[in-house]
């Protein structure tokens, strides 16, 4: 059986905001002073009508600072901020009777993330290009929310709350709270190292943490099209480098959140710099030791668990960035640590933290009679540790088959020795286990990286795909070997991960680069397959990958760039194959077969043949 034969065929967003009031302490803007206030002043002449002007710009309001009302104001001018004024909603009595007829009814869907293709109105312009709002507009736009839609920090299930109605002319006064909720709803499940939301809110009532608040606001804003992402990114960076800010583990958390956000926002050099500084600070504090969580947990089990998770998340992100971008080393893989493994997510969320287990206990689990249950987070850690082992092979001048086989054994054993409870991605509460999802994502990506240099696949057709990592040249062979088969299987497994029943925007943004890595394999194989014959399955998987990146593009600009590159290469390959078939290069097939497959192919490849405008926009991001 050749490598090609392994290819086989394979909801609306629930997040909506209700009308309940935001809780105190959830964000700076929960203070009434931070809401959209305005004053009326006389016009330039005594006989002119009074006009309404804002009392403070958005930047000053967000920090509760006095604004001088100039345009730009002195504070924004001195700090090189964008100075934006918005109209007040004070005294608003609802839409005029004449206008009520045109008010759209509320729906059960969420408008925090628009669906691909849905138009987004910004400053009078309408965009419908697969992205909720183009990144350059989304980062600096400030549409407002109507009185019917307010943001609540008390909602137990955001999907069950009422819908929000947006007026694109004004910014919501509760925008920071909406970013906070978006962070915990979308981002937190894939990177759960901060305290669970109820515990975090309780801690914030006791301790000021402006750097974490700013980091949450920045990352959460990526999920809220109306949020000024660039402004929040600048605030997050200033907060973590604020003079006098404590060099503690909370600062490490803020730096880690900011680094992840910047990486997905196409600011990778800055992200790596902040991540490196976070690692240095963590080592300085001793976060890689077992005693750190005990000494800094304030005798609270949930806080002790939080510190353990912070160290391991730092380890995971260090490995993720090193593996998918291939421009840095996996530094923390060399650090000797005795930090206990994290518990299950439901245990952490409840605050009922069980006795912890060590990495050594997990390694020896196959040889002992102990009946320990290890968490999905723990298997995510061991998956990333195997990535570190594979990356070390890149430092060797010569890697023989035996060395590759030993590294491959770690990856195969990881899958074979998963307990029965970890064989499925679905948890007892019928949700996708995000930690287990990421663990498999890491293993499949690592398998592709391990076998890439030995696979005899030709990657040159996809050499233009460099958004995640530089082009990796290869030496193609005349036939496909075991390494190629393993790569193809892992690429298919990545595509299957996309189809799991969950919102793709709740996955880690690093999934974009794993999808891209798998797409390079698919494209390399497809480029040498007979045109329009027996390639339906691989094209369906490519469509799945491209669709996933398009969805992720609604949040992460990095996904938009990858989307444009992968789709562009797919279009080129498709065009070449179609031309080859039309000039009669494949005479072994009957005319009926060629025509039938061309008709079917046109239907399947309709998405590949869309105008290039969205691709060009993606490449400009």
**pLDDT tens-digit profile of 554-590?**
999 999 999 999 999 999 999 888 887 776 555 556 6
> Which of 414, 438, 454 is the endpoint of a domain?
454
Q: Is the sign of the CA dihedral 258, 260, 261, 264 positive or negative?
A: positive
Do 488 and 612 belong together in one domain? yes
| Together in a domain, 464 and 598 | yes
* Maximum Cα–Cα distance across the chain: 91
Q: Quick check: 611 pLDDT over 50?
A: no
Q: In the prediction, which pLDDT does 602 show?
A: 59
Same domain for 616 and 516 = yes
502 within a domain of the structure (yes/no): yes
Residues 503 and 382 in one domain: no
The answer to whether residue 17 is domain-embedded is no
Q: Which of 40-49, 244-253, 498-507 has the lowest mean pLDDT?
A: 40-49
pLDDT at 157 over 90: no
Q: Which of 454, 476, 499 is the last residue of a domain?
A: 454
Cβ atoms of 473 and 460 closer than 8 Å: yes
Residue 578 lies in a domain: yes
Lowest mean pLDDT among 238-242, 277-281, 394-398, 465-469: 394-398
Average pLDDT over residues 186-209: 97
Among 377, 441, 438, 384, CA closest to 410: 384
Same domain, 194 and 317: yes
Query: Where is pLDDT greater, at 571 or 395?
Result: 571
Tens digits of residue pLDDT in 405-424: 999 999 999 999 999 999 89
The rounded distance, in Å, linking the Cα atoms of 195 and 215 is: 14
Mean pLDDT of 293-308: 97
CA–CA distance, 258 with 254 (Å, rounded to integer):
6
Residue 408 shares a structural domain with residue 310? no
Mean per-residue pLDDT for 35-59? 42
Please check whether residues 211 and 306 belong to one and the same domain.
yes
Average pLDDT over residues 352-358: 95
Lowest mean pLDDT among 56-65, 228-237, 450-459: 56-65
The better pLDDT of the pair 162, 437 is held by 437
Q: What is the pLDDT of residues 305-326, one digit of tens each?
A: 999 999 999 999 999 999 999 9
For residues 176-182, average pLDDT: 96
pLDDT band at 66 (very low <50, low <70, confident <90, very high): confident
Question: What are the tens digits of pLDDT across the range 448-475?
Answer: 999 998 888 889 999 999 999 999 887 6
Q: Which positions ≥6 away from 105 have C-beta within 8 Å?
A: none
Lowest mean pLDDT among 110-119, 168-177, 418-427, 565-574: 110-119
pLDDT value for 285 = 98
Of how many residues is the chain composed?
621
Q: Which long-range contacts (CB under 8 A, 24 or more apart) does 304-309 make?
A: 304/353, 305/342, 305/343, 305/348, 305/353, 305/356, 306/193, 306/194, 306/195, 307/249, 308/339, 308/340, 308/341, 308/342, 308/356, 309/192, 309/193, 309/342, 309/348, 309/377
Domain that holds residue 485: 455-620
Establish if 104 belongs to a structural domain: no
Contact residues for 69 (Cβ-Cβ < 8 A; gap 6+): 53, 54, 55, 56
Residue-wise DSSP of 458-497: --GGGTT--SSS--------SS--HHHHHHHHHHHHHHHH
Provide mean pLDDT across the span 62-69.
70
Lowest mean pLDDT among 182-191, 440-449, 582-591: 582-591
**Where a domain ends, among 430, 454, 478?**
454
Hey, what are 123's tokens? 């400053």
Note whether residue 349 is domain-resident. Answer: no
Q: Domain for residue 111, yes or no? A: no
Asked if residue 558 and residue 496 are part of one domain, the reply reads: yes
pLDDT tops 50 at residue 145: no
Between residues 428 and 242, the one the model is more confident about: 242
Asked if 427 and 470 sit in the same domain, the reply is no
Q: Which residue has the higher pLDDT, 309 or 60?
A: 309
Inter-axis angle of helices 591-604 and 557-582, to 10 degrees?
160
Do 470 and 590 belong together in one domain?
yes
pLDDT for position 19: 35
Instruction: Kindly state whether residue 47 falls inside one of the protein's structural domains.
Output: no
- Choose between 8 and 495: higher pLDDT: 495
Report how many domains make up the chain.
3
Which range is least confidently modeled, 62-66, 340-344, 605-609? 605-609
Does the residue 118 lie in any domain?
no
Q: Are residues 444 and 478 in the same domain?
A: no
Residue 448 sits in the same domain as residue 459: no
pLDDT over 70, % of the chain = 67
Q: What would the pLDDT profile of 539-558 be if each residue is shown by its tens digit? A: 999 999 999 999 999 999 99
9/173: higher pLDDT: 173
pLDDT at 165: 35
Of 25-39, 248-262, 347-361, 460-474, the poorest mean pLDDT is in 25-39
Return the pLDDT at 606.
59
């Amino acid at each position: 059986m050749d490598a090609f034969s392994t290819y086989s065929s394979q909801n609306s967003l629930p997040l909506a905001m209700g009308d309940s009031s935001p809780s105190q302490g959830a964000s700076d803007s929960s203070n009434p002073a931070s809401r959209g206030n305005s004053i009326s002043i006389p016009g330039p002449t005594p006989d002119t009508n009074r006009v309404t002007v804002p009392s403070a710009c958005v930047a000053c309001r967000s920090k509760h600072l006095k604004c001088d009302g100039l345009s730009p104001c002195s504070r924004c001018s001195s700090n090189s901020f964008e100075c934006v004024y918005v109209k007040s909603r004070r005294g608003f009595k609802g839409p005029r009777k004449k206008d009520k007829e045109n008010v759209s009814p509320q729906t059960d869907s969420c408008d925090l993330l628009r669906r691909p293709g849905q138009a987004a109105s910004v400053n009078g312009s309408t965009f419908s290009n697969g992205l909720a709002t183009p990144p350059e507009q989304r980062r600096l736009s400030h549409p407002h929310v109507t009185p019917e839609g307010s943001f609540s920090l008390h909602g137990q299930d955001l999907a069950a709350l009422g819908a929000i109605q947006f007026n694109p002319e004004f910014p919501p006064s509760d925008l920071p709270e909406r970013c906070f909720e978006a962070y915990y709803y979308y981002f937190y499940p894939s990177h759960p190292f901060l305290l669970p939301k109820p515990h975090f809110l309780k801690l914030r009532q006791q301790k000021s943490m402006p750097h974490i608040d700013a980091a949450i606001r920045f990352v959460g804003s990526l999920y809220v099209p109306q949020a000024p992402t660039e402004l929040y990114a600048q605030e997050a960076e200033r907060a973590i480098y604020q003079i006098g800010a404590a060099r503690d583990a909370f600062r490490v958390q803020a730096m880690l959140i900011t680094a992840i956000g910047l990486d997905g926002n196409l600011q990778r050099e800055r992200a790596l710099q902040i991540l490196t500084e976070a690692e240095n600070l963590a080592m300085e504090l001793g976060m890689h030791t077992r005693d750190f969580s005990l000494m800094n947990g304030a005798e609270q089990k949930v806080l002790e668990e939080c510190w353990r998770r912070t160290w391991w998340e730092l380890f995971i992100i260090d490995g993720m960035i090193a593996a998918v971008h291939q421009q840095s080393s996996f530094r923390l893989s060399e650090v000797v640590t005795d930090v206990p493994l994290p518990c299950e997510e439901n245990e952490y969320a409840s605050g009922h933290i069980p006795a912890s287990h060590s990495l050594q206990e997990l390694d020896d689990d196959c040889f002992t009679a102990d009946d320990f249950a290890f968490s999905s987070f723990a298997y995510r850690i061991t998956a990333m540790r195997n990535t570190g082992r594979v990356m070390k092979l890149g430092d060797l001048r010569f890697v023989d088959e035996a060395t590759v086989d030993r590294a491959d054994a770690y990856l195969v054993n990881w899958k074979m020795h998963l307990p029965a409870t970890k064989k499925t991605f679905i948890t007892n509460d019928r949700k996708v286990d995000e930690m287990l999802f990421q663990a498999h994502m890491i293993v499949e990506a690592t398998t592709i990286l391990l076998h890439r240099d030995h696979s005899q696949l030709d990657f040159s057709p996809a050499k233009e795909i460099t958004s995640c990592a530089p082009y990796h040249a290869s030496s193609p062979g005349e036939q496909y070997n075991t390494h190629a088969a393993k790569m193809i299987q892992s690429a298919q497994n990545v595509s299957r991960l996309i189809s799991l029943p969950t919102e793709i925007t709740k996955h880690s943004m690093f999934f974009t680069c794993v999808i891209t890595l798998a797409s390079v394999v698919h494209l390399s194989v497809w480029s040498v397959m007979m045109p329009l014959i027996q390639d339906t399955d691989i094209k369906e998987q490519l469509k799945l990958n491209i669709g996933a990146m398009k969805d992720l593009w609604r949040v992460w600009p990095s996904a938009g760039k990858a989307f444009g590159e992968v789709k562009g290469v797919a279009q080129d390959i498709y065009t070449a194959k179609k031309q080859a078939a039309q000039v009669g290069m494949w005479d072994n097939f009957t005319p009926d077969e060629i025509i039938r497959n061309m008709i079917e192919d046109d239907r399947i490849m309709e998405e590949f043949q869309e105008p290039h405008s969205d691709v060009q926009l993606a490449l400009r991001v």
